Amino acid sequence: MLRILFVFLLFAGFGGAKAETVMLDPGDQQTIIENLRYLEDPDAQLDITDIRNPDLNWLQHSGSSFNKSFSQSTWWLHLQLNNPQNRTEDRLLEISYAILDYVDIYVFSNHSQISHFTLGDRYPYADRPIDSPFFVVPLHWSRDGRMDVYLRIKSSSAIQVPLTLWQPDTFTTQAAKTNIIQGLYYGAMLVIVVYNLLIFLALWDRSYLYYSGFVLSMPLFFAAISGQGFRYIWPDIPGWNDYALTLFLALTVIFANLFTRLFLDLKKVSPLLNYWTLIVTALAVIGLGLVLFSNYRISILYLVAVSAISAPGSMVAGVVSWRRGAETARFYCVAWALFLLGVSVLVLNKINILPNNQLTQYSVQIGSILEAVLLSFAMAERINVERKLRYQAQDETLTTTRRLNTELETRVQERTDELEQLNKRLRVLSNTDQLTGLYNRRYLEQKMQSEWERCKRYKHSMAMVMMDVDYFKTVNDTYGHPAGDECLRQVTAQILGCVRVQSDHVARYGGEEFCMLLPETDTEGAVVLAERIRTIVASHPIVTQDHVFNVTISLGVFAMIPNNNQHLGYMLQCVDLALYQSKENGRNLVTVFDPDHSNPQKPNDEIKNSHR
């Protein structure tokens, strides 16, 4: 938006105004442009004597402002100003465009030259007849007098000549008001720069450095183009004027794009927009080189083009970031929108759609300071968001069940929910057997350990049931492995159909081996459940796509009250031996392990495998 403003200011001028008449009126200010005559001198060969030759082909100007854009020609302007009053009159003639290089003003009365003023930003500021950032000269009329004013304009900047006649007292009053407003504006911007630089030194966050550079470059650019910089900062260095304007424009583009890229985190939000801002930044850096090693005309035209492509890119980056959930991007978009509104108000004022008042005259300054304040709020908000994200990460390390934090804003809340759901799915996948959908052995052993400790603390009984599909190898050899997989899935469904209590856990413990953990269950309850499972499996055939067959299962049961004298491994050995005894005794059986008549030692693995 700043770049859009620059293009407008460069081509339209700060003081372009509507013409009314060439007759002096008693009003406070009078715009004089419609009755202007002009002449182009491409080779700069004419002088004031040649210009007053009546045979020259002067052209009549039409329009609300004299604008010849970038031109290498010298331009002559002629005004006839009449005093219809029966008294002497004094006025101040103002050219309210501060970056003209050479301005010569010749004043004739009754065909005699009465004054000649040499102005322009290539001359020391102290040489000006009136202390003003614009070009102002005094004019004096006798009674019923007529005055011819010739202006010779030569500049490497855009040729803009907005002309206004002022009552001296009104001009002084208006200039004082302008100085106060401009002082408040530059002072406020300086405070924002210092504040953000201090935060940068405290946090060492580059975004604050880039933002400070942007906020500093923008008012310096305004100061250069409005003449305030020449008036107060470098009045004795006229050669710096051309450099200052292009230099601060280039720095504004560079810092704005660097800040946009870092503040909106475009590397993550949009790699394409991230590359775009890097390219525009590189082009602006090249513009800095042109400022130092090329002439003003080339560098300013180049930087205007870079600014024109940078402005829409920055706004698009803000909108894209906002749409993709970046909360701080809304501050960015609103801030730039307010500045663009200020630019629009100024443009509408200059084309006479909006009235000329304090609000419309300083709309750009108001918009830019609101932009700077809002972006400062956005930077503070970003710190808050980052701090909340750090707290969230620490909390998630302790427990995923405490992820929700009501103090976080909507975007952080949504991302927290998504992350929690992903973690839950990962836990389910890591604890689930892919074939049967049951818990796997890893999960069951963790659950066994926690239930062992709990039942030991409260002296409650817990039971285990170990199950194994009989002759499962024969199923695979006879019907094929797909049928074997389907067999395991259907046996799983039959087992789960027998489970009545939510706290009971069933897991696939091995190839065709299943294990059931039954907290708060004694031997009798475990046997009832085991016998129910055995009966259901034996009575329901396995139906696959190509085959129908029956299988049975053998089950081992063991229950105990955990104590300090035993450990979980002991219980697993006992239930495994009970299963082994069911296999040894003919299969399709439920066997309860009796620790008083059996030694809980695992049988030889080769013997076990031969029986299964």
Delimit the domains of the chain by residue range. 13-166, 173-388, 401-430, 437-611
Q: What is residue 348's predicted lDDT score, i.e. its pLDDT?
A: 63
CA–centroid distance for 588 within its chain: 67
Q: Whole-angstrom Cα distance, residue 322 to residue 316?
A: 10
CATH of domain 173-388: 1.20.1070
CATH architecture classification, 13-166: Sandwich (2.60)
Q: Where in the sequence numbering do the catalytic residues fall?
A: 512
Q: What is residue 17's predicted lDDT score, i.e. its pLDDT?
A: 33
Pairing, β 590-592 against β 553-560: parallel
Residue ranges of the chain whose pLDDT lies below 70 = 1-26, 63-64, 144, 343, 346-362, 385-387, 389-390, 393-395, 397-412, 597-612
CA–centroid distance for 511 within its chain: 53
Neighbours of 50 (CB within 10 A): 12
Asked if residues 3 and 283 have their Cβ atoms less than 8 Å apart, the reply is: no
Q: What is residue 608's predicted lDDT score, i.e. its pLDDT?
A: 39
Fold that domain 437-611 belongs to in CATH: Alpha-Beta Plaits (3.30.70)
Q: What is residue 482's predicted lDDT score, i.e. its pLDDT?
A: 92
Q: Which residue matches tokens 């100007």?
A: 61
Beta strands per DSSP E along 132-238: 135-141, 146-154, 158-160, 163-166
Do the domains 437-611 and 13-166 match in fold?
no
CA–centroid distance for 409 within its chain: 16
Q: What is residue 386's predicted lDDT score, i.e. its pLDDT?
A: 66
Q: Whole-angstrom Cα distance, residue 577 to residue 303?
A: 86
Query: Is-above-0.85 flag for pTM?
Result: no
**Count of alpha carbons within 13 Å of 519, Cβ hemisphere only?**
19
Q: What is residue 249's predicted lDDT score, i.e. its pLDDT?
A: 87
Q: What is residue 64's predicted lDDT score, i.e. its pLDDT?
A: 65
